[in-house]
Structure 1
Amino acid sequence: MKDNTRRVVAFVAGRLISGSEAWSIYDCEASRTCRFSGTVSPEQILVYDPEARCRVSGYGEKDCYSLYHHGNRHHIELKIRGSSFEGYDYGSGAHFSGSVDGSSVVVFDGQDRRYYYFTI
């Protein structure tokens, strides 16, 4: 999964699960804060990533989200399961999963089989 896709997945999942109103996420791997703007709600996702200069948009129903990354031009499926999440990144052709505990977000990227850590 591309770095910018992973960050936005961590951000959206972190917002939806934690209920946080934050508009940034700290990427522990890159040691930096990434900012976003837009809307994150149980029904609609419309996030702008100024670093990638693109939107990620989609809709949700019953904790299942169909997202589209306009910069990378591919779909992302995201399912929320309590404090955990899982999904599929069509750009990399790989599954991902993760969990949220307070402000901590962990993403397991099935493409490179590694864990990535974020703080929202």
Structure 2
Amino acid sequence: MSGGSMQPHIRAIVVASAHAFVIRKKVAGLYDHTAARHLRIAAEALGEHLQGYDGDRDARFGGSLPDLHDAREGTSVHIEIDGDAARGYDRGSAGHFSATVSEQRVQLYDHAEGTWFSFEVQTA
């Protein structure tokens, strides 16, 4: 069953979280190549736990794998980390995603849109 498209801020939360879990560095910002804009977003993983902050929406997000929550909207994302990849689904849109993570980049595939989204990652 395929769901709808993920909201752009949910994609950003997924990307920042996946990078923090895989690379184990603090995420200090993202550049969304698709939207051609910088996103003020931060994330830090401690073991299975993540805490993050979306500065563009003044919203906290985080939780423990596999469930991350967006405190502002009360939505949650299911995310599984497997090596340098992540996959899961956004409960808000019921949309599935998969992502590949490298030191400075995350490629996220939104299954509902059938599209890849590319993000550059700044670490602290």
- TM-score, length-normalised on structure 2? 0.84
Opposite residue 97 of structure 2, the aligned amino acid is F
Opposite residue 93 of structure 1, the aligned amino acid is A
Partner Cα separation in structure 1 for residue 111 and residue 43 of structure 2 = 28
Overall identity of the aligned pairs, in %: 25
Partner Cα separation in structure 2 for residue 42 and residue 5 of structure 1 = 22
1:14-25 correspondence to structure 2 within 5 Å? 14-25=19-30
CA contact (8 A) 2:59 2:72 kept: yes
Structure 1 equivalent of residue 68 of structure 2: 67
CA spacing shift, 1:48–1:21, aligned 2, 3 Å: closer
Does residue 13 (structure 1) correspond to residue 18 (structure 2)? The answer is yes
Opposite residue 9 of structure 2, the aligned amino acid is N
Q: Deviations over 1:75-113 (max 9, x none)?
A: 101000101110110011111101012211000012212
CA contact (8 A) 1:89 1:95 kept: yes
Structure 1 equivalent of residue 33 of structure 2: 28
Q: CA deviation at 1:10?
A: 0.4
1:75-114 correspondence to structure 2 within 5 Å? 75-114=76-115
SS in 1 for 2:93: coil
Q: CA deviation at 1:68?
A: 0.9
Number of paired residues?
Answer: 116
Give unpaired runs (5+ residues) of structure 1: none
Higher relative contact order (CA 8 A, sep 6+): 2
CA contact (8 A) 2:26 2:43 kept: no
- TM-score, length-normalised on structure 1? 0.87
Q: Deviations over 1:56-85 (max 9, x none)?
A: 12113xxxx211112332110100010111
Give unpaired runs (5+ residues) of structure 2: 1-5
Opposite residue 68 of structure 1, the aligned amino acid is H
